[in-house]
């Protein structure tokens, strides 16, 4: 760190510095955020990002399916655009950011950040902080984010996420075994990396994963099941502090099903004279997990085959009471050591798609599929703004095909050279991969893979001058069509002209965009002719949506002024 020379400072400068120091956090992560500003961030003071569709890269296989999105550009600019189009719309974010290992994986201001850079952690934290803050805005209140990382920045990232998402919204630090043999050039052979998981808020919840029902060894007339002890083994709970959970259960060992489970009752009667009480792990009096009413509800007296609570004799002659569990889902564990989680799996899949190595250390598709099953529903929007080779898009397509879901992905990646492979990341790897998966390809064994009913639109970031002159505002209006269509999820062009355009999507939603004053009356005529409800974005140099000019059809339109609706977002995030 460079030492400040306070001897040349004025009194006012010193007072300002003292006040600045007093405002600093007393606890939390602190880094030199302003030492080397990021070029792509500074750029947004003079240029505002917009999107331009690359028509010849669109993949349109099924007109009835929603459009997935691939955006080529720096992810700071992509996230800025998405703060207008997708604020509060994303259910799940997964990212695999650069790990800041000192190799070519992390570039800051067009320079590789190596291990000798004394500001490498500050640069990385500034880089991640800006993007995570923008990403948080995109999540629904129930949304979650998963971030892959390793030891180089894991502890720093944890504190950064505590600050951005809130410490109480931390869900888990998942350990992933990425290399079973370990990297043995270290003092300990490292076998794992991490995935940090946070919720947007306290109401964020993960799904449970499906169990392998083939492991259920027991079966009755209602199907397969496994047994779970009804007693609570925790010594903290007993008949004194849980009296409603302590009661005897009576057993009739002469009535058994094919699994040698015996009939039970809560009342003593003929044949049900044998009783048992719950004991904890210390062998002392404990309690059951269920109270009497729930247990009674699950007992079918004299028929252990139909009863959902049964008894089974132990080898020592004692008795256990069991619930027949038909719960076919389970909570995910915090250690993922399945073979499918290893990095080599990702490399193999890419090699089968392209016929050669094209990307270093891609994440396995199965790992992202697992994250999708945990964090997304069948109609979720899933974002990856470090999309790289496109693993997240591939995983979304696979899971949709598996369960009939309609999840949509948004991928953001740059088009830089890919570490010596002489291929551009977006145009030569990510887009072709998704295209091959959608259209189908053969793996190394000749088996058919992919071939899905899916679509994808391809956008590239562009810029307009940020100075808010009337001319620049008009230019932003002329360049904002793709952003508005993306926000409204409305892409099918019905009518096109210089003054206005009309778009439609399945389900009958209509969108109108008016580019200048002369477009108002012609669009109104079309709205009256179609007799449909329209969202209309109308050119205005101020915040007025020009309602007075739409009075005769005001019940048919929802008006929004452009470019003001976009500029308001950019004023907030670029302030």
How does strand 329-330 pair with strand 231-232? unpaired
Q: CB within 8 A of 512, min separation 6: which ones?
A: 500, 501, 502, 503, 523, 526, 527, 534, 535, 536, 537, 557
Query: Which has the closest alpha carbon to 128: 425, 381, 385?
Result: 385
User: What number of other Cβ atoms are within 10 A of residue 562's Cβ?
Assistant: 24
Report the chain's C-alpha Rg in angstroms. Answer: 30
pLDDT digits (tens, 9 = 90+) for 229-260: 999 999 999 999 999 999 999 999 999 999 99
Helix 470-479 and helix 564-573: axis angle, to 10°?
Answer: 100
pLDDT tens by residue, 70-124: 999 999 999 999 999 999 999 999 999 999 988 877 888 888 898 888 889 999 9
User: Contact, 363 vs 96, CB < 8 A?
Assistant: yes
Question: Which pLDDT does position 19 carry in this prediction?
Answer: 81
**Average per-residue pLDDT in the chain?**
93
> Tokens 């997240």 identify what position?
392
Q: Within the chain, which residues score under 50 in pLDDT?
A: 1
Q: Find out if CATH 3.10.450 is the number for domain 468-573.
A: no
CB atoms within 10 A of CB 403: 10
Residue found under tokens 């899905």: 452
The verdict on whether omega for the bond into residue 563 sits within 30 degrees of 0, i.e. cis, is: yes
pLDDT score for 486: 96
Q: How many CA atoms lie within 13 A of 510 on its CB side?
A: 21
Instruction: Tell me if 462 sits within 8 A of 52, measured CB to CB.
Output: yes
Q: What is the pLDDT of residue 214?
A: 83
First to last CA, the chain: 27
CA distance 176 to 166: 24
Q: Specify the CATH number for 48-209+333-459; select among 3.30.300.180, 3.40.50.20, 3.40.50.150, 3.30.1360.70.
A: 3.40.50.150
Q: What is the DSSP letter of 274?
A: E
pLDDT value, residue 194: 98
pLDDT of residue 213: 83
Q: Please answer whether residues 410 and 68 qualify as being in contact, where contact means their C-beta atoms are separated by less than 8 angstroms.
A: yes
Q: What is the pLDDT of residue 1?
A: 43
201 — alpha (psi -120 to 50), left (phi > 0) or beta? beta
Q: Domain limits of the chain?
A: 48-209+333-459, 213-327, 468-573
- Mapping DSSP to helix (H, G, I), strand (E, B) and coil, where does residue 229 land? strand
């Amino acid at each position: 760190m460079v030492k400040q020379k306070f001897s040349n400072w004025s009194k006012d400068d010193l007072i300002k510095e003292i006040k600045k120091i007093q405002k600093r956090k007393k606890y939390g992560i602190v880094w030199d955020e302003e030492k080397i500003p990021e070029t792509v961030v500074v750029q947004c003071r003079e240029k505002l990002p917009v999107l331009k569709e690359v028509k010849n890269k669109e993949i349109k296989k099924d007109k009835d399916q929603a459009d997935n999105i691939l955006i080529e550009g720096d992810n700071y600019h992509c996230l800025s655009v998405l703060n207008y189009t997708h604020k509060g719309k994303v259910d799940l974010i997964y990212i695999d950011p650069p790990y800041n290992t000192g190799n070519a994986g992390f570039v800051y201001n067009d320079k590789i950040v190596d291990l000798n850079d004394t500001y490498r952690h500050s640069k990385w934290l500034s880089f991640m902080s800006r993007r995570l803050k923008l990403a948080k805005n995109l999540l629904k209140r129930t949304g979650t984010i998963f971030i892959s990382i390793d030891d180089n920045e894991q502890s720093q990232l944890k504190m950064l996420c505590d600050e951005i998402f809130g410490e109480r919204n931390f869900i888990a630090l998942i350990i992933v075994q990425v290399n079973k043999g370990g990297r043995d050039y270290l003092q300990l052979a490292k076998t794992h990396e991490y995935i940090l998981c946070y919720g947007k808020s306290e109401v964020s919840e993960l799904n449970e994963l499906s169990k392998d029902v083939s492991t259920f060894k027991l079966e009755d007339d209602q199907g397969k099941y496994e047994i779970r002890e009804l007693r609570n083994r925790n010594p903290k709970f007993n008949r004194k502090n849980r009296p409603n959970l302590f009661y005897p259960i009576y057993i009739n060992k002469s009535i058994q099903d094919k699994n040698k489970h015996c009939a039970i009752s809560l009342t003593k009667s003929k044949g049900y004279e044998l009783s048992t009480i719950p004991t904890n792990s210390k062998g002392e009096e404990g309690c059951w997990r269920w109270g009497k009413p729930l247990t009674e509800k699950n007992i079918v007296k004299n028929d252990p085959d139909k009863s959902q609570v049964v008894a089974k004799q132990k080898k020592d002659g004692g008795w256990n009471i069991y619930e027949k569990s038909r719960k076919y889902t389970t909570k995910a564990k915090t250690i993922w050591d399945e073979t499918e989680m290893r990095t080599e799996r990702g490399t193999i899949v890419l090699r089968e798609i392209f016929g050669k190595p094209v990307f270093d250390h891609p994440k396995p598709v199965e790992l992202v599929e697992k994250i999708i099953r945990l964090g997304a529903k069948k109609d979720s929007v899933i974002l990856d703004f470090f999309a790289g080779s496109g693993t997240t898009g591939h995983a979304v397509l696979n899971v949709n095909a598996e369960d009939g879901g309609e999840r949509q992905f948004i991928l953001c990646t740059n088009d830089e050279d890919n570490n010596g492979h002489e291929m551009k990341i977006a145009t030569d790897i990510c887009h072709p991969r998704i295209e091959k998966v959608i259209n189908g390809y053969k793996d190394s064994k000749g088996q058919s893979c992919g071939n899905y009913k899916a679509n994808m639109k391809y956008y590239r970031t562009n810029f307009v001058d940020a100075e808010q002159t009337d001319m620049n505002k008009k230019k932003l209006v002329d360049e904002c069509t793709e952003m508005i269509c993306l926000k409204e999820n409305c892409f099918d062009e019905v009518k096109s002209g210089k003054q206005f355009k009309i778009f439609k999507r399945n389900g009958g939603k209509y969108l109108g965009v008016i580019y200048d004053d002369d477009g108002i009356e012609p669009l109104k005529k079309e709205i009256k002719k179609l007799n449909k409800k329209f969202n209309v974005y109308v050119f205005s140099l101020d915040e007025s949506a020009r309602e007075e000019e739409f009075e005769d059809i005001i019940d048919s339109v929802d008006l929004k002024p452009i470019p003001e609706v976009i500029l308001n977002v950019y004023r907030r995030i670029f302030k």
